[in-house]
Chain A
Amino acid sequence: MTGTGSLIRLILRRDRFLLPLWAVLLPLVPVGYASSLRALFPTAAERAGYARVSADSAGFVALLGPLHGSSLGDLVAWRSGFLLVLAGLFSLLTVIRHTRTDEELGRTELIGAGAVSRPAGLVAALLVALGANVVLAVIVMGGLIGLGLPVAGSVLFGVSFGLAGWAFAAVGAVSAQLSSSARTARSIAIIGLGATFVLRMAGDVDALGGGALSWLTWVSPVGWIQHVFPYGPSALLPLFLALAFTVAAGLAAVAMVSRRDIGEGVLPARPGTPTAGAALSGPIGLAWRLHRGMLIGWLAGFAVLGLVFGGVAKSIADLADENSSLSEILGRLGGSTAAVDQYFATALGMMGLIAAAYAVQAALRLHDEEGTGHAEAVLATRTGRVRWAAGHLMFSLFGPAAALLVGGAVCGLVAGLALDNVGREVPALLGGAAAQIPAVWVLATLAVLLFGVLPRQAPAAWGALAVCFFLLIGGAILQLNHWIMDLSPFTHIPHLPGAAATPLPFVVLTALAVVLAAAGLTAFRRRDVPAI
């Protein structure tokens, strides 16, 4: 296809940092799992004990998929269940970024006028995503074989990992044809990914009880791949299903791109209303319109997160009772309540960081609105700068807070039902989730400060979030100096439920957030707009 080669080079150049980030780092995770699982369960008996509990735990099966066998390879492949979803996510985002996003920005038109054939852009994006997954698969194989895992199993595992990416690269390609908006195309593809995950989850959990819904797994590409069991029975049929799915969806996307007009979607764009509703009458009404999709999406996401985190509670408690080595890891104090509390404190800490990602995304809407010129249009009306910024700030503060409360409440309810202790778990987990809010606000208002003081560098707030992530995940294991650990506001949040809590850190963090927001808004009032 004319032009495909040069378009591939263009994509590789534009994504030279982004692509290796997931294609290389993601496959290192199962390799890491292999070495830590080996250290954690050095003998076959210990592995068998761990596998026995896990294979029957609804929570684990829901999150990670079914477990078959108890060899090190079996455990690694099983633990990596969620990574398949991530490979799918990154693949579909890559394809959409280089197809519909470019098209929406008018770049495709520029290229389309040159000497390239009609589907060349789509084919180039697809080939890059497929290639990235080949790299990913090779790293998985190499890493696991290097650690001494069986060669055949490791090759099969690598292939199935890569095929998960392939299947969703093709899903991304199809959804990029459906809508004229990149945002909608992303939503369609991600909802598709989520749906295949939920189908697999329902089918697998149902199969535990020998239920009649276990076929649900078999309508889901994620389900197919998780039923390969590369180190055990090594079923090949699911791999062929995934391959056929990829080819069929890829060809469908190419057929669609050749048939539609540039800039258009296959699905007709829904017309809007000819006049504005009463709500769309001021900066707050506008902010609501711009944030509501994000808010609803995150609230739903946190409800699911709460469901998943809470659903595992029972098996954590059982596990702690059965496996003393794991209970030590999970709850150094021993005893199943302590282990469950410890687990929830960690889970809620993760939720806090995820909520901070939402907070940063929402706060950076200020930056986006300035960059697109929308801010200029609003600020040339009688809307003052602070009033305009406050609309967005409100959503970046209260949106994540609401998401945390929803996540904590759902988590508490599900865990409480499973442990027969709703009266304790709901307030405990709601409180633990609420405890994260001041730290989340510090990150949101840091983004506001950057927006005011260094408008071009405002996206550096993502870097601050990445540092917090790193300190939470790696800080304790790497035994970092407490000075460095203290940089993250999340370090100062007590580990709830379980730990003792004093009001001081909450007051200090909230005060810090107020200062950051005030400083950011003051600087914004004094600077040029647009400055991006």
Chain B
Amino acid sequence: MAEAVDVTGLRKSFGRTQALDGLDLHVEVGEVHGFLGPNGAGKSTTIRILLGLMRANGGTARLLGGDPWSHATDLHKRLAYVPGDVTLWPALSGGEVIDLLGRLRGGINRKRRDELLERFDLDPRNKARTYSKGNRQKVALVAALASDAELLILDEPTSGLDPLMESVFRDVVREEHRRGGKTVLLSSHILTEVEALCHRLTIIREGRTVETGTLADLRHLTRTTIEAELIGLPDGLAALPGVYDLQADDHRVVFDVDTDTLEPALRKLVDVGVRSLTSKPPTLEELFLRQYRKEPVR
């Protein structure tokens, strides 16, 4: 069994809202998988179904080889979860919450706990009601990351963290993965985070999967931006299928080009002579924006 998460054609509706509409998600054991989508796309709903908190209306969902609804408590022994909106019991201290969640999961690695508290710069004595959103998130992260779970499910775990803490988070996730070969399902809005951490990713929109694959796979689908200073004027560049948004001004050209058309386009430039050239590889940001533009799915 090589898939930690195996979701096919998942459907879920809340009254008239169709939250999930045939969603697919496949996470292999040992990988860090990014789960991207705009607000309301259905990320949290998918995760709650995987945790057996909600029941799907259709499709199949398997988690660590088991049925998430009927084997919920057994499966939960093997995972740690950080909810999207972390709220803590206001009268408990951060340290108490971490220990409590750890014990409810079946144990916590004390050494790791103390080390993480230090790295996240968190005072475990403060009452939860005094914590900011970022600090609440740190509490949940320390509790999850200090557990010996084989699967980490993190729902937008860094949305309240400052950049410094975000980089601590990245380091820790990488370590966890390297040390224990943990599987991580990371739902996120923060693209640089996904780029930095994930081996593969799945992009969803309006309850459906729109893209899935490795970063390299997805870049394949995207355009590179070329900016060049030329000696002559290129011919027929605008006519090439796969070249977009061409701006020519004297000897300077700027355009976007599909990866498939990159070679013929560059040939045209070389033909007239190139003085300087910069190319910007597509960022996940652009990929994301293109997937999110309000055109209907498919």
Contact = CB atoms under 8 A, between A and B. Distances in A.
Contact of A374 (B79, B87, B103): B87
B127 A272 contact: yes
Interface in B112-155: 124-127, 129-130, 140
Interface in A281-311: 281-283, 285-286, 289-290
B33 interface: no
B53 interface: yes
Contacts of B246: none
B196 interface: no
B99 A276 contact: yes
Contacts of B85: 373
A272 B104 contact: no
A274 interface: yes
Contacts of B105: 381-382
Given A273-B95, A382-B76, A528 B54 contact: yes
B83 interface: yes
Nearest to A528: B54
A270 to B, nearest CB: 8
Nearest to A271: B125
Contacts of B77: 382
Contact of A380 (B81, B89, B96, B129): B81
A318 interface: no
A329 B97 CA distance: 56
Contact of B124 (A104, A274, A373): A274
A269 B127 contact: yes
A384 interface: yes
B180 interface: no
Interface of B is mostly: mixed
B241 interface: no
A521 B247 CA distance: 66
Interface in A374-392: 374, 376-384
A13 to B, nearest CB: 27
Given A273-B96, A275-B96, A276-B95, A529 B53 contact: yes
Contact of B101 (A269, A273, A373, A377): A377
A384 B73 contact: yes
A383 B73 CA distance: 6
B73 A382 contact: yes
A382 to B, nearest CB: 5
Interface in A482-532: 526, 528-530
B92 A383 contact: no
Given A272-B126, A275-B96, A282 B91 contact: no
A215 to B, nearest CB: 39
B106 interface: yes
A280 B93 CA distance: 12
A532 B73 CA distance: 22
Given A380-B76, A384-B73, A281 B129 contact: no
Nearest to B85: A373
B55 interface: yes
B273 interface: no
A180 interface: yes
A373 B87 contact: yes
Interface string A356-380: 0000000000000000111011111
B139 to A, nearest CB: 10
A181 interface: yes
Interface in A411-451: none
B126 A283 contact: no
A271 B90 CA distance: 12
Nearest to A184: B91
Given A181-B91, A269-B130, 10 more contacts: A180-B129, A274-B124, A275-B99, A281-B100, A286-B100, A377-B87, A379-B72, A384-B72, A384-B73, A529-B54
Closest 5 pairs (CB-CB, A-B)? A272-B93, A276-B99, A381-B104, A274-B95, A528-B54
Interface of B: 48, 51, 53-55, 72-74, 76-77, 79, 81, 83, 85-96, 98-101, 103-106, 124-127, 129-130, 140
Interface of A: 104, 180-181, 269-277, 280-283, 285-286, 289-290, 372-374, 376-384, 526, 528-530
17 contacts: A180-B129, A181-B90, A269-B126, A272-B92, A272-B96, A272-B125, A274-B95, A274-B124, A274-B125, A276-B98, A373-B87, A377-B81, A377-B86, A380-B53, A380-B79, A381-B105, A382-B104
